[in-house]
Amino acid sequence: KEVNRWSFPGYFQHHDQIEKPDGNFIVCVTKEGLDTRLDHFIEVDRNSGGIVREWDLRQVLDIDRFDLVWNSTDWVHVNSVWYDETDGGLLISGRHQGIIKVSQDNQLEWILAPHRGWEQAGPAGNGPNTAGYLLTAIDEGGAPYGEEVQQGAEDATGFSWPWGQHAAMLLPNGHVFCFDNSFQKNFGNNEPFIRGVEYEVDSVLRTVEQVWEYGRERGEEIHSSNISDVDYLPATGNRLICPGNINQPGIREGRMIEVTAPGGEVVFEAVIKYKNAFSTGDTWAKSDMIYRAERLPLYPE
């Protein structure tokens, strides 16, 4: 049953849309008539259907940074957006760049990503220097890691940047939580593991500390180089981790894994075997996979 419908002339919706506390929607869009895609957002008035505001990532990020993926059209590849109720800003996952926080009026606040290659923002490259907004990776004692870690050339024992991540969100404690696909890890290594990973960000000092992860220890068994999801389960504080496209010789499946935090104990795991693994074979998207997973009550509350 269709309850309502909204249309956005001049925009093409993709990947994600969320409902704000006031009922309006934040929608990931491509703006028609531009040479780039997957790099805009709009807020849509729930009642009138009108566009309240627009965010343009080209104005605040370096659109010529191709260190992870060389693609001048799909340079950032936004795949999720989260509304920060504390300040009205947006937490954004850009698969080809990193995790970004922007304000309600489209001002860059910080960038959670390897430091390599960040320069001037703007379509003409004459905007702010984005390097000044990069978060510095620190250990649990507050000491910065070495330059090789900051640049993304190597990991530290207790820290890894997210690579090709999905589903960035804010936890109740204010920490950032995401699905790390380990795509092009350290700029070229598709390492066979994934993580649900939690970071503590200090937006004043512009530092980031990794405080929890799950998945690395399971290696290839649950590796998904694209799509996938994580969620926080408020009733228990557990985490739901969903590698949605496990693609190995003889194996095509997705999983929904609930684990305790911080313990990392598996309390539920479902394996979804894909019957139609390759479908028409025309494109990778025309096959079975899980993009998102949600835990819902069995009966309406």
* Amino acid (1-letter code) at residue 15: H
Place of tokens 């001049």: 10
pLDDT tens sequence across 248-267: 888 889 999 999 999 999 99
Residue ranges per structural domain of the chain: 11-224
Percent of the chain clearing pLDDT 70 (strictly above)? 96
Using 50, 70 and 90 to split pLDDT, how confident is the model at 288?
Answer: confident
Determine the pLDDT at residue 247: 87
Determine the pLDDT at residue 278: 57
pLDDT tens sequence across 19-57: 999 999 999 999 999 999 999 999 999 999 999 999 999
Q: Mean pLDDT across the stretch 165-193?
A: 95
* Amino acid (1-letter code) at residue 1: K
CA distance 152 to 163: 10
Determine the pLDDT at residue 191: 80
Using 50, 70 and 90 to split pLDDT, how confident is the model at 274?
Answer: confident
Enumerate the β-bridge partners of residue 241. 230, 257
Task: Answer whether residue 227 shows pLDDT above 90.
Answer: yes
Using 50, 70 and 90 to split pLDDT, how confident is the model at 164?
Answer: very high
3-class secondary structure for the chain?
Answer: CCCCCCCCCCEEEEEEEEECCCCCEEEEEEECCCCCCCCEEEEECCCCCCEEEEEEHHHCCCCCCCCCCCCCCCCCCEEEEEECCCCCCEEEEECCCEEEEECCCCCEEEEECCCCCCCECCCCCCCCEHHHHECEEECCCCCECCHHHHHCCCCECCECCCCCCEEEEECCCCCEEEEECCCCECCCECCCCCEEEEEEEECCCCEEEEEEEECHHHHHHHCCCCCCEEEEECCCCEEEEECCCEEECCEEEEEEEEECCCCCCEEEEEEEECCCCCCCCCCCCCCCCCCCCCCCCCCCC
CA distance 61 to 94: 11
Task: Answer whether residue 282 shows pLDDT above 70.
Answer: no
pLDDT tens sequence across 211-224: 999 999 999 999 99
Task: Answer whether residue 8 shows pLDDT above 90.
Answer: yes
pTM: 0.95
